[in-house]
Structure 1
Amino acid sequence: MKMEKLKYLNKELQGKTIQDALAFVLENFEGKKVFSTSFGIEDQLLTHYVAPHFEKLSVFTLDTGRQFNETYEVFHKTQKKYPDLHIETFFPEEKDIMQYVAANGINGFYDSIEKRKSCCYMRKVKPLQRAIKGAGLWITGLRAEQSQNRESMEFLEWDEANQLVKYNPLLHYSLKQVEEEINEYKVPVNSLYKKGFLSIGCAPCTRALAEGEDFRAGRWWWENGKKECGLHIHQDKNY
């Protein structure tokens, strides 16, 4: 997609409600459109807004094989609340897991950043690549305040690595706004959220936040620096 069109569309999205913005984006993109959910609080709110458009897009989740049981519980509750919305699950390749465990041990990701990123790659990035294959638009629950490297993002961005447009409807939402709307619409939430798990990933790699800690501090807490798994690598825009 030409950057001029993205500029135009981003300008048009300014000031629109999330309902109107989502409808506008879906109307202005042809081809396959996908929404990814990890069943975190942001994705749960987006699921509520996406559900009425179930015929216009595909919804998927990535099951890494190391999920919390609470994540499966909210998955089930979400299916019951939005029965028309089919959520497809993508799993890692069995051979990749067998090779990784044979070489590094079942929890080898604790040993080094390289081994952790390798685990994320086989359990998340490779399944993601299958899930978004052929898509022109990928809807995500990213918010600017989640981390410093997300603060300069736009509603619509060209994702060079995946060769598609990424749409971030909740980009300028505060966590308080997300929580208020979740409560208003009675959307199911992962029970770990109220226990301090603001960002929920794989069970061995996620812990509750201590008071005052950064939003992402509970993910890969034994590491320092940027904490991304490779699904959302923000690249500097050239427009």
Structure 2
Amino acid sequence: MTVIPTIDHVDALAAEYADKSPREILELALHQEGEIAISFSGAEDVVLIDIASRIGKPFRVFSLDTGRLHAETYQFIETVRKHYNITIEICFPESAAVQQFVNEKGLFSFFEDGHQECCGIRKVQPLRKKLATLDGWITGQRKDQSPTRSDVPVVQADVGFSGEGKQLIKYNPLANWSSADVWSYIRMMEIPYNPLHERGFISIGCEPCTRPVLPNQHEREGRWWWEEATHKECGLHAGNLKK
């Protein structure tokens, strides 16, 4: 019998599934009551889509278009859409908010005063709007991605995006996987991946704020490289940051 998570037993469910496989965690998520969707960033989150496609249960996928992604990322999103014959629900930022921000602060203000404001407009607000229509979401977060993600559980109550009287559940099926695990799966199953990975990009975000990493550098060093490593969350997973 499938257990449907509620606010009362999310922690217990996280403990129960802590050592289970990504497929088992995804099966749990896809059996949750209400609306749930996979968050696809156009990088290695395609693993989640591939596993979900093999479970055989209908699933939804959404992706955030900040307006500043690499051309290769846009092409990759389309490749994935066609490869799995799925609808990818694209979420856009509010045009008026972007226009005002750019007119007031220019196109590259984040190099001077941090990425939070730009990410807030281009990523967090569209995500918040999307999550308001969902009861749960599935992410590709892994514990080995950065210091801010070292304690990520496989299931959690998303207090940052839950609304009044509504508990949002967040699933992280790949939490216990390493980058090597992800790429072993990609190669073994011969699934599509962003061609930027072949050019030294590991963690891929917006074009101005992402760069390739050198050998033995951590993958998140290519994101917002001018900032402190413990601050490298755009706001989508701000709950990871220690107060």
TM-score by length of 2: 0.89
The alpha carbon displacement at 1:73 in A equals 1.5
Of residues 213-222 and 161-170 in structure 1, the stretch that sits farther from structure 2 once superposed is 213-222
**Equivalent of 1:229 in 234, 237, 240:** 234
Partner of 1:189: 193
Aligned-partner Cα distance in 2 for 1:220–1:18:
29
Q: Deviations over 1:201-239 (max 9, x none)?
A: 1101111002222221111112224211000013589xx
Alignment of 1:5 with 2:9, yes or no, is yes
* Pair 232,194 (structure 1): closer, same or farther in 2 beyond 3 Å: same
Partner of 2:165: none
Q: Deviations over 1:119-145 (max 9, x none)?
A: 111000011012111322110000000
- Give the CA RMSD over aligned residues: 2.0
Aligned-partner Cα distance in 1 for 2:134–2:117:
25
**Is the 2:21–2:173 contact (alpha carbons within 8 Å) kept by the matching residues of 1?**
no
Report the AA paired with residue 35 of structure 1.
I
Alignment of 1:175 with 2:179, yes or no, is yes
Report the AA paired with residue 186 of structure 1.
E
Report the AA paired with residue 185 of structure 1.
M
Q: Aligned with 2:239: secondary structure?
A: coil
Q: Structure 2 regions of 5+ residues with no counterpart? A: 163-167
Aligned-partner Cα distance in 1 for 2:141–2:16:
20
The alpha carbon displacement at 1:200 in A equals 0.5
Report the AA paired with residue 149 of structure 2.
R
The alpha carbon displacement at 1:76 in A equals 1.6
Q: Aligned with 1:111: secondary structure?
A: helix
Q: Deviations over 1:141-199 (max 9, x none)?
A: 00000011211121111111111111000000011111011111111111111211111
The alpha carbon displacement at 1:102 in A equals 1.1
Report the AA paired with residue 49 of structure 1.
I
* Pair 224,235 (structure 1): closer, same or farther in 2 beyond 3 Å: closer
Alignment of 1:166 with 2:167, yes or no, is no
Q: Aligned with 2:20: secondary structure?
A: coil
* Pair 33,176 (structure 1): closer, same or farther in 2 beyond 3 Å: same
TM-score by length of 1: 0.90
Partner of 1:70: 72
Q: Aligned with 2:156: secondary structure?
A: strand
**Is the 1:34–1:58 contact (alpha carbons within 8 Å) kept by the matching residues of 2?**
yes
Alignment of 1:215 with 2:222, yes or no, is no
**Is the 1:34–1:132 contact (alpha carbons within 8 Å) kept by the matching residues of 2?**
no
Aligned-partner Cα distance in 2 for 1:178–1:194:
15
Q: Aligned with 1:157: secondary structure?
A: strand
The alpha carbon displacement at 1:65 in A equals 0.5
**Is the 2:141–2:152 contact (alpha carbons within 8 Å) kept by the matching residues of 1?**
no
Q: Aligned with 1:9: secondary structure?
A: helix
**Is the 1:149–1:234 contact (alpha carbons within 8 Å) kept by the matching residues of 2?**
no
**Is the 2:149–2:240 contact (alpha carbons within 8 Å) kept by the matching residues of 1?**
no
Partner of 2:36: 33
Of residues 138-147 and 5-14 in structure 1, the stretch that sits farther from structure 2 once superposed is 5-14
Partner of 1:87: 88
Q: Aligned with 2:220: secondary structure?
A: coil
Aligned-partner Cα distance in 1 for 2:150–2:201:
21
Alignment of 1:96 with 2:88, yes or no, is no
Q: Alignment identity in percent?
A: 36
Report the AA paired with residue 195 of structure 2.
S
* Pair 11,72 (structure 1): closer, same or farther in 2 beyond 3 Å: same
Aligned-partner Cα distance in 2 for 1:61–1:213:
27
Q: Aligned with 2:180: secondary structure?
A: helix
Alignment of 1:205 with 2:209, yes or no, is yes
